């Protein structure tokens, strides 16, 4: 039984207590709390804070504080530097060269079809290949750019 069925049968279509809804809401709250503790959640919070604190409205209201903005920007740079270091550790130059050669060979063999004639089918094949290999074309492009290949 799901949330909607429970409402139809036991609550007669009304909004009474529903254990399925309560469990879903609890999971959503726990996910939101966990999101704030992750690196991506912290970056998101910093971006939002910078949007609030570094804007023309803050300057007009007199709540603009350059020191606070500099501290948030420094924290954001630290997080991004950590992410880049972890990315470079996971994508050393030899691994990048191997993966690039393998990807180029797959493209030259025509595994993905022709993007001009069947774009949706080609994109589906590319997504399937990325899922199977465990890394994406975007990550490969980023690694190639970082290693200046």
* Blockwise average pLDDT, block size 10, the chain, 149 residues: 71 72 86 82 89 80 84 93 92 93 88 73 85 90 90
Q: Distances from the Cα of 19 to the Cαs of 1, 13, 14, 23, 111, in angstroms?
A: 11, 15, 14, 6, 49
Is residue 6 within 8 A of residue 18, CB to CB? The reply is: yes
DSSP letter at 135 equals: S
- Delimit the domains of the chain by residue range: 91-149
Confidence at residue 86, expressed as pLDDT on a 0 to 100 scale: 92
Is residue 129 within 8 A of residue 111, CB to CB? The reply is: yes
């Amino acid at each position: 039984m799901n949330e909607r069925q429970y409402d139809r049968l036991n609550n007669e279509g009304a909004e009474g207590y529903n254990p399925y809804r309560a469990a879903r809401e609890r999971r959503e709250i726990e996910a939101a709390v966990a999101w704030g503790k992750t690196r991506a959640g912290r970056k998101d919070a910093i971006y939002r804070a910078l949007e609030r604190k570094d804007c023309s409205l803050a300057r007009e209201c007199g709540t603009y504080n350059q020191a606070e903005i500099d501290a948030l920007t420094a924290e954001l740079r630290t997080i991004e530097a950590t992410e880049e270091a972890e990315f470079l550790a996971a994508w050393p130059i030899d691994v990048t060269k191997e993966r690039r050669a393998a990807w180029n060979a797959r493209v030259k063999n025509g595994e993905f079809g022709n993007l001009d004639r069947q774009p949706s089918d080609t994109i589906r094949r590319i997504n399937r290949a990325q899922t199977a290999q465990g890394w994406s074309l975007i990550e490969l492009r980023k690694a190639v750019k970082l290693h200046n290949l």
